[in-house]
Amino acid sequence: MLGAREVVSDSSTAEILLAAADCFMERGYTATSVDDVARRLGATKGRIYHHFPSKADLFAGVFEYGMDLICVVIEPYRNMPGPAAERWTQLALAHTKHMMRAKTLARVVWEGVEMHLRGARTPEQRLVLDGLVKYRNSYSNIFRETIVQAREEGDFHFEDPAITVQSMFMALNAPIFWYVPRPGEDEENIESIARQVVTFVYRGLTGKGELDL
Amino acid sequence: MLGAREVVSDSSTAEILLAAADCFMERGYTATSVDDVARRLGATKGRIYHHFPSKADLFAGVFEYGMDLICVVIEPYRNMPGPAAERWTQLALAHTKHMMRAKTLARVVWEGVEMHLRGARTPEQRLVLDGLVKYRNSYSNIFRETIVQAREEGDFHFEDPAITVQSMFMALNAPIFWYVPRPGEDEENIESIARQVVTFVYRGLTGKGELDL
DNA sequence: GTCTATATTTCGATAGAC
DNA sequence: GTCTATCGAAATATAGAC
């Protein structure tokens, strides 16, 4: 199952991870103090440091938890039979809806990737981040292989796969930055937004029109 | 000219802004210390605090400088005659190429918008950020009006303009996260990437195909 | 397993010399 | 206009009580 690592052993650890995810999303990694996370838990940082050796490890835990979850979500569609273009549509819909349902975790994963792209930091943190981003890359490779196959089958059209995967993910992930859950009318709302976003990207992948300048 | 405010009065201030932009891009706002910026300048923070009352104001200065620049870049195409779809193509190409050429400033603007979406912070910082994001929104409205007009002219197809503008900008801005300038072969590289990205989005806007499920 | 200190470092900001 | 020196406020992490 793509190496889900079952980070969350007990419910106490899970509670810490979710509180940390909330804080990291609201203020970002650097601006979030361990005291902030403890305060959200109604506890003190002693509790957190008992479960995680450092703030960086806490962040890594949230990242991994987030990746584990989304891997479970797209698993049913990974090896779906039929045209790759149709498989892509199912994967993209599941991915985009999950971005909104688990917006908090998705934002943390995003910041982890961003931190990695920035480079810098200490060698130790670098090693941890490298592992996390490798996990995230194995996920994005599922989509990459699917769109390349759909191109071979004549349904998708694009030049560079790397550029296309990046453009695709940015558009599919967009809702994590502006979507605000509204109590009550959530599920239909999520369905409608996901359909529009995936349609937009689907057209970008299937279209053949060239720019007229 | 969309209210460019001429932040950069003297060359000493400009030098500080560019050094700050580099630092903010490399490590993010919170993780960047004023000492970091000073060190990059080969100076001490006394120099920075003489020109900017606070770190937040320094960030605001970089943001505003970045917005001023990109407004100048798209200005020639804003009121171009002819079909809105063609005007959009010129605007999008100019925008995307600038994202790569001025990647540093673009990333700072991005983080400013992200910080604003997070909410939180002190009321004073909130006020400054509100102003900056208003500036940024007036920029994004140019694109919004253009795609809505292109839809009225029958060239673009989409449902919700807000969702579409968000998806569009995310895809057009994607290069600021992965594009790495390579010395020598830069300009042709930028042209090729921008053409591919804008073609992808163009197809997303012009396409009429529906998802088959 | 969680809490109460506390040691240590870093950072934003200011005051005053030059 | 820039630098040196320093204050005071966080924040990471640890030690030891309970």
CA of A29 to C1' of D3 (A): 33
Q: Contact A35/A47 with Cβ under 8 angstroms? A: no
Largest CA distance in chain B: 62
H helix or E strand, kind and range, residue A63? helix A55-78
Phi/psi for A81 (5° steps) reads -75, 170
Residue B16 to residue B7: CA distance in whole angstroms:
12
Q: Is residue B92 part of a domain?
A: yes
Cβ pair B167:A200 closer than 8 A: yes
* Average pLDDT of the residues in A190-209: 98
Chain A residue with minimum CA distance to B25 = A118
Q: Is residue B30 part of a domain?
A: no
- Shortest CA–C1' contact from A51: which nucleotide? C1
Phi/psi for B5 (5° steps) reads -110, 10
Q: CATH number, domain at B166?
A: 1.10.357.10
For residue A174, give the DSSP letter: T
Q: Is residue B119 part of a domain?
A: yes
How many structural domains does chain B have?
1
CA of B33 to C1' of C13 (A): 12
Residue A34 to residue A41: CA distance in whole angstroms:
11
Token pair for A192: 């409608």
Cβ pair A171:B167 closer than 8 A: yes
Q: Contact B167/B204 with Cβ under 8 angstroms? A: yes
Q: Is residue A30 part of a domain?
A: no
CA of A34 to C1' of C3 (A): 15
Residue B168 to residue A174: CA distance in whole angstroms:
9
Q: Is residue B123 part of a domain?
A: yes
**Residue at token pair 């002190």:** B122
For residue B210, give the DSSP letter: P
**Residue at token pair 């490399």:** B26
* pLDDT (tens digit per residue) in B155-191: 999 999 999 999 999 999 999 999 999 888 789 999 9
Q: Identify the domain containing residue A166 by its residue range.
A: 54-204
Give Cβ neighbours of residue A149 (< 8 Å, ≥ 6 apart).
Answer: A84
Q: What is the residue-averaged pLDDT of chain B?
A: 94
* Average pLDDT of the residues in A173-195: 93
First vs last C-alpha separation in chain B? 47
Q: Is residue A146 part of a domain?
A: yes
Residue B36 to residue B20: CA distance in whole angstroms:
9
pTM for this model (two decimals): 0.95
What's the pLDDT score for residue A1? 46
Q: Is residue A193 part of a domain?
A: yes
**Residue at token pair 């090896």:** A79
Position with higher pLDDT, A198 vs A127: A198
Confidence of residue A9 (pLDDT cuts 50, 70, 90): low
Query: What is the full DSSP assignment across B119-170?
Result: --S-HHHHHHHHHHHHHHHHHHHHHHHHHHHHHHTTS---S-HHHHHHHHHH
Q: Does B191 touch chain A (CB under 8 A)?
A: no
Q: What is the dihedral of CA A148, A151, A153, A156, to 10 degrees?
A: 130
Confidence of residue B6 (pLDDT cuts 50, 70, 90): low
Chain A residue with minimum CA distance to B157 = A200
Closest by CA to A85, choosing from A173, A164, A151, is A151
Instruction: Please tell me whether residue B45 adopts helix, strand or coil conformation.
Output: helix
Cβ pair A28:B118 closer than 8 A: yes
Best mutation target among B39, B117, B157, B163 (most A Cβ atoms within 10 Å) is: B163
Token pair for B203: 């197809």
CA B141 to chain centre: 13
Residue A79 to residue A74: CA distance in whole angstroms:
10
Chain B residue with minimum CA distance to A203 = B204
Best mutation target among A211, A212, A213 (most B Cβ atoms within 10 Å) is: A211
What's the pLDDT score for residue A125? 80
* pLDDT (tens digit per residue) in B19-42: 999 999 999 999 999 999 999 999
Closest by CA to A96, choosing from A163, A195, A186, is A195
Best mutation target among A200, A202, A205, A212 (most B Cβ atoms within 10 Å) is: A200
Chain A residues in contact with B170 by the CB 8 A cut-off are 170-171, 173-174, 177
Closest by CA to B131, choosing from B60, B190, B77, is B60
Residue B119 to residue A31: CA distance in whole angstroms:
13
| Residue of B93, B159, B203 lying closest to A209 (CB–CB) | B203
B105 to chain A nearest CA, in Å?
14
Q: Does B180 touch chain A (CB under 8 A)?
A: no
| Residue of A159, A196, A209 lying closest to B163 (CB–CB) | A196
* pLDDT (tens digit per residue) in B95-135: 999 999 999 999 999 999 999 988 867 777 888 899 999 99
Q: Is residue B19 part of a domain?
A: no
* pLDDT (tens digit per residue) in A83-129: 999 999 999 999 999 999 999 999 999 999 999 988 767 777 888 89
Q: What is the residue-averaged pLDDT of chain A?
A: 94
